Amino acid sequence: MDYMLSEDLMAIRDICAEIAAKHIRPVRAQLDEENRFPREIMGVLAQSDLFTIYIPEAYGGTGMGSLALCVATEELSRACGGIAVSYAANALGAMPILLFGTEEQKQKFLPPLASGEKLCAFALTESEAGSDAAGIKTRAVRDGDHYVLNGTKQWITNGGEAQIYTVIAMTDPTRGARGATAFIVEEGTPGFTYGKKEDKMGIRASSTRELVFEDCRVPAENLISREGMGFMVAMKTLDNSRPGVAAQAIGIAQGALDEALVYASGRRQFGQRIDSFQGIQFMLADMATSIEAARALTYSVARMIDAGKGRFEKESAMAKVFASDVAMKVTTDAVQILGGYGYMKEYPVEKMMRDAKITQIYEGTNQIQRTVIASALIRETAAGKR
């Protein structure tokens, strides 16, 4: 993998690997079992300046971009997908401000995110609006120099732990997707509370929680872009963030392959190490090949984003769908290689298999991603593009 990375990116990877070894692997099973948010580890990541990666220099960051964030997310996910997504979700939450925020909004909200003083979350999903993001019901009504929000957001990563939320609400339901608007809502705003904390199958070290808005008064200055732009803000945000999900999936898969290799080299059956059996060797070879292919695709898309030229929703969807499918296959095979031990919580591949599953679901299911890819292909063909 080193041939794909600059010295700065390798330094980020090495920092994350050291944090994973010292702070994540010793506690990942306990955090998973207790469904507990890794506040102490978030502090370590902040002290290591890892929250600065995706924030421009003008706002306290290092401005290293999407590829750097993917490298960090992948290496942290290699140890624990739940802890890694708690870190990466901050970039998702900040993305609407980065892409569409005013200079005043960026000056106010980005520096505390870069320092790790505050955490961020992105709130789009509702009980009746998952893949159908245009079906959100949360309302925002203008009242003088405020908007009044009412509704409930569901399955929000970093919910209850973040202090800054970017929220999509309907200002004009009669216009469908064109009636959605994006807002910045701070923790402690009157009328904003937290609901149910979810008890998840995987990524249990992350906090996934409901956000409840009951006559929540948000200053009009916290509107992102303008009324009616919320759907565009959300879609552009997800286009930029999906390589991060792909990186998470790659890290989980790589961690599972690492465990399978170690186990196969030490486990003996029929008087031989099981990594001497061709059936196991072929599984390991396929696992490694698919991971490397997913990594190359994801890094390529991240570089496209960092270049800032053209559209990349098709390629972003490709990276997410391919890498997450790889993660599910690789972790399942890792459990198979470990046999009965792989099915036990004593070994981490059981957790990795559970963690991998969500990467096929959130930030747009893989079925939706395939629709995005196909639509782009059809559009490009009609336009005569190659």
Which of the four pLDDT bands, split at 50, 70 and 90, describes residue 273? very high
pLDDT of res. 137: 95
Which of the four pLDDT bands, split at 50, 70 and 90, describes residue 280? very high
Size (the chain), residues: 386
299 contact partners, CB below 8 Å, separation of at least 6: 4, 67, 70
Residues involved in catalysis: 363
The residues pairing with 170 across neighbouring beta strands, listed in sequence order, are 139, 180
pLDDT of res. 1: 62
pLDDT in tens, 222-243: 999 999 999 999 999 999 999 9
SS3 string, the chain, reads CHHHCCHHHHHHHHHHHHHHHHHHCCCHHHHHHHCCCCHHHHHHHHHCCHHHCCCCHHHCCCCCHHHHHHHHHHHHHCCCHHHHHHHHHHHHHHHHHHHHCCHHHHHHHHHHHHHCCCCEEEECCECCECCCHHHCCCEEEEECCEEEEEEEEEEEECCCCCCEEEEEEECCHHHHHHHEEEEEEECCCCCEEEEEECCCCCCCCCCEEEEEEEEEEEEHHHEECCCCCHHHHHHHHHHHHHHHHHHHHHHHHHHHHHHHHHHHHHCEECCEEHHHCHHHHHHHHHHHHHHHHHHHHHHHHHHHHHHCCCCCHHHHHHHHHHHHHHHHHHHHHHHHHHHHHHHCCCCCHHHHHHHHHHCCCCCCCHHHHHHHHHHHHHHHHHCCCC
Domain 231-382 grouped into CATH 2.40.128.20 = no
Domain with CATH 2.40.110.10 in the chain: 121-228
pLDDT of res. 129: 86
Mean predicted confidence (pLDDT) in 27-35: 98
pLDDT of res. 255: 98
pLDDT of res. 168: 98
**pTM for this model (two decimals):** 0.96
Long-range contacts of 142-148 (CB under 8 A, 24+ apart): 142/171, 142/220, 143/217, 145/219, 145/220, 145/221, 146/217, 146/218, 146/219, 146/220, 147/171, 147/181, 147/183, 147/217, 147/218, 147/220, 147/223, 148/191, 148/215, 148/216, 148/217, 148/218
Other CB atoms within a 10 A radius of the CB of residue 272 amount to 10
pLDDT in tens, 99-139: 999 999 999 999 999 999 999 999 999 998 877 877 899 99
Which of the four pLDDT bands, split at 50, 70 and 90, describes residue 212? very high
pLDDT in tens, 73-88: 999 999 999 999 999 9
pLDDT of res. 36: 97
Which of the four pLDDT bands, split at 50, 70 and 90, describes residue 385? confident
Which of the four pLDDT bands, split at 50, 70 and 90, describes residue 386? low
> By the 8 A CB rule, do 205 and 83 touch?
yes
pLDDT of res. 209: 98
* Token pair for 10: 């390798």
Mean predicted confidence (pLDDT) in 324-340: 98
Least confident of 127-141, 198-212, 342-356: 127-141
Domain 121-228 grouped into CATH 2.40.110.10 = yes
Mean predicted confidence (pLDDT) in 167-180: 94
Whether 297 has a pLDDT exceeding 70, the answer reads yes
Domain with CATH 1.20.140.10 in the chain: 231-382
Whether 171 has a pLDDT exceeding 80, the answer reads yes
- For 237, 244, 342, the CA distances from 287, given in Å and listed in that order, are 31, 20, 16
227: left (phi over 0), alpha (psi -120 to 50) or beta: beta
Other CB atoms within a 10 A radius of the CB of residue 274 amount to 19
pLDDT of res. 158: 98
Domain with CATH 1.10.540.10 in the chain: 2-119
Q: What percent of the chain shows pLDDT beyond 70?
A: 99
pLDDT averaged over every residue in the chain: 96
239: left (phi over 0), alpha (psi -120 to 50) or beta: alpha
CATH classification code of 2-119: 1.10.540.10
Q: How far apart are CA 43 and CA 25, in angstroms?
A: 16
Whether 310 has a pLDDT exceeding 90, the answer reads no
Whether 2 has a pLDDT exceeding 80, the answer reads no
> By the 8 A CB rule, do 225 and 100 touch?
yes
Residue 352: closest CA among 32, 30, 125? 32
Compute φ and ψ for 169, nearest 5 degrees. Answer: -135, 160
Q: How far apart are CA 299 and CA 2, in angstroms?
A: 12
Max intra-chain CA distance, the chain: 79
